[in-house]
Amino acid sequence: MQVLISSERIRDRVDELGAEITADFDGQPITVVGVLTGCLVFLADLIRRLNHPTHIALLQASSYRGTATSPGELTVRDELLPDMTGRHVLLLDDILDTGRTISKLVDHLKSKGAASVRTCVLLRKIGRQTVEFEPDYVGFAIPDKFVIGYGLDFNDLYRHLPFIAVLPDSATTGG
């Protein structure tokens, strides 16, 4: 398996992001909203670097992609979310690919009454974005490869890996 980002590099970058976010929010209470399931490992690490009054909330977003390259409709499940009215949100996702998921979720949280929504993604794929959107915090820019580990899955496997790796072709073809 080709390791793209080691656990040491992830740890160092999460340290930096935590310090940056702590400084930017300037003592204001943060509601961290994680996008299930890929956010879980990143969220658990990042919140322990926020020197802040912090609330945690979760939602799920999935787009059904068939074999076609164009993704299907985005479904948002937010029944676990508390009342968002007046909250300053830090929306956390594992990876920004086309940008559809995160931009839709920002609109969704604003429609639920959030006072502000900042966004943080661990990874951003270069050259893939189709929706104009600029996240506030990015961990790493990566090449256009399918990646797994540190929360990211392939068929719900590999999330537990402590590093980010490129999924080998053999994992998808069975050879």
For Mg ion, the closer CB: 38 or 139: 38
The helix/strand/coil state of 148 is strand
Site for Mg ion, residues 9 to 48, rule: CB under 5 A: 38
**From 45, 93, 94, 97, active-site residue:** 97
Minimum Å distance from CB 100 to Mg ion?
Answer: 11
- Strands (E) across 71-136 are located at 74-77, 88-96, 116-125
Beta carbons of 117 and 91 less than 8 angstroms apart? yes
Q: Is the dihedral of CA 80, 84, 88, 90 positive or negative?
A: positive
Minimum Å distance from CB 26 to ligand 5GP?
Answer: 28
Which residues of this protein are in contact with ligand 5GP, per CB under 6 A?
Answer: 38, 93-101, 146-148, 152-154
CA nearest neighbour of 119 among 80, 88, 79, 150: 88
For ligand 5GP, the closer CB: 22 or 76: 76
Tell me how far apart the alpha carbons of residues 27 and 42 are, in angstroms, rounded to a whole number. Answer: 22
Q: Which residue is nearest to Mg ion (CB)?
A: 38
User: Does residue 97 have an active-site annotation?
Assistant: yes
For Mg ion, the closer CB: 21 or 96: 96
List interacting residues with Mg ion (CB under 5 A): 38
Active-site positions read 97
